[in-house]
């Protein structure tokens, strides 16, 4: 049952990473933070080149992986912007709803079936997301108005759509194109770093902004990079031993820790209600992936 240990470690590191990232983003611009973080994660992944196998990597696979990385870069940036401006007790549970979009796109692009009980899981996701935005003495329509008017909730939804597409791309690359997981891990992080460096030089001041970011919050960003690398690695190890659905189900529990512990640290309001809403969302995810 060593895969359970790896999956639990992935959940713990994910929750910790989300909380530390929220703290770091109080002082950092989301784009500069994302670029610096992506570069550090790629540097941490370089030692994996020793065991990476590039024998199945061809030009078409490289193009597909670059396209996946472009979608993932935009999704990561939107998620970082949302985490910076929304309560962590709102953004973390909403980000957990990603499997619903993965399920939909797997059905559209890979021909995977959607079972009736999974539709029930999606319904629970909607109920939980709605409950996140309910407030005492407010109309039942107020959460809907919030979803419509909040640009940062829109960012999360768009990020989830893009992450759903990248998840389908991940499956295609690993299971159909035959690229080993570790090899894909290294290549995709290289492309993510390149994408964010291009953003920095086109829209910002290049390495100067990243140097300033490291000067102001270097240790915090390095900590997020280590935690992010760690939970992705533990998740990869767990998936290599067990079904991805089982691993995902355990990892998604990180949202509850992020919601409650992060909410307490940042003195957020209505944590009990938000924790209950988070549990409803996690229940929906479990129904979808199991």
pLDDT tens digits, one per residue of 64-74: 999 999 999 99
CA angle 235-77-197, nearest 5°? 95
Task: List average pLDDT for each run of 10 residues in the chain, which is 290 residues long.
Answer: 82 92 90 94 95 94 96 94 91 84 81 84 86 71 77 93 86 86 93 95 85 90 94 79 67 82 85 88 82
Tell me, what's the pLDDT at 114? 83
Tell me, what's the pLDDT at 149? 86
Q: Spell out the residues 6+ positions from residue 34 whose beta carbon is closer than 8 angstroms to its own.
A: 73, 76, 77, 80, 196
Tell me, what's the pLDDT at 51? 94
Give the pTM. Answer: 0.86
Euclidean distance between CA atoms 88 and 75, whole angstroms: 17
How many CB atoms sit inside 10 A of residue 107's CB? 14
The domains of the chain are located at: 2-289
Euclidean distance between CA atoms 265 and 208, whole angstroms: 32
CB 263 within 8 A of CB 271: yes
CB 38 within 8 A of CB 284: no
pLDDT tens digits, one per residue of 167-190: 888 878 888 898 998 999 999 999
Tell me, what's the pLDDT at 70? 96
The DSSP string of the chain is: -HHHHHHHHHHHHHHHHHHHHHHHHTTS-HHHHHHHHHHHHHHHHGGGGGT---TT--HHHHHHHHHHHHHHHHHHHHHHHHHHHS-HHHHHHHHTTHHHHHHHHHHHHS-----HHHHHHHHHHHHHHHHHT--TT--TTHHHHHHHH-HHHHHHHHHHHHHHHHHHHHHIIIIIS---HHHHHHHHHHHHHHHHHHHHHHHS-THHHHHHHHHHHHHHHHHHHHHHHHHHHHHHHHHTTS-HHHHHHHHTTHHHHIIIIIHHHTT-S-HHHHHHHHHHHHHHHHHHH-
Q: Spell out the residues 6+ positions from residue 40 whose beta carbon is closer than 8 angstroms to its own.
A: 221, 222, 225
Tell me, what's the pLDDT at 257? 82
How far apart, in Å, do the first and last CA atoms of the chain sit? 18
């Amino acid at each position: 049952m060593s895969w359970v240990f790896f999956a639990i470690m992935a959940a713990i590191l994910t929750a910790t990473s989300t909380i530390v990232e929220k703290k770091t983003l109080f002082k950092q611009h989301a784009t500069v933070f994302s670029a610096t973080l992506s570069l550090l994660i790629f540097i941490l992944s370089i030692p994996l080149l020793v065991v990476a196998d590039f024998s199945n990597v061809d030009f078409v696979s490289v193009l597909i992986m670059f396209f996946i990385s472009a979608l993932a870069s935009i999704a990561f940036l939107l998620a970082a912007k949302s985490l910076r401006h929304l309560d962590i007790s709102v953004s973390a549970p909403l980000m957990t709803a990603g499997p619903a979009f993965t399920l939909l796109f797997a059905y559209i692009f890979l021909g995977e079936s959607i079972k009736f009980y999974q539709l029930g899981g999606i319904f629970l996701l909607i109920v939980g997301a709605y409950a996140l935005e309910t407030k005492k003495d407010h109309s039942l329509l107020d959460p809907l108005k919030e979803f419509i008017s909040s640009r940062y909730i829109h960012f999360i939804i768009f990020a989830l759509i893009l992450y759903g597409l990248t998840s389908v791309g991940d499956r295609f690359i690993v299971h159909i194109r035959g690229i080993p997981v570790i090899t894909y891990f290294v290549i995709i992080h290289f492309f993510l770093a390149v994408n964010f460096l291009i953003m920095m030089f086109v829209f910002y001041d290049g390495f100067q902004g990243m140097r300033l970011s490291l000067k102001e919050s270097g240790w915090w960003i390095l900590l997020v990079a280590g935690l992010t690398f760690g939970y992705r690695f533990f998740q990869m190890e767990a998936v290599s031993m067990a079904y991805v659905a089982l691993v995902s189900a355990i990892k998604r529990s990180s949202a509850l820790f992020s919601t409650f512990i992060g909410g307490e640290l940042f003195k957020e309001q209505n944590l009990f209600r938000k924790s209950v809403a988070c549990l409803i969302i996690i229940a929906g995810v479990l129904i979808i992936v199991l």
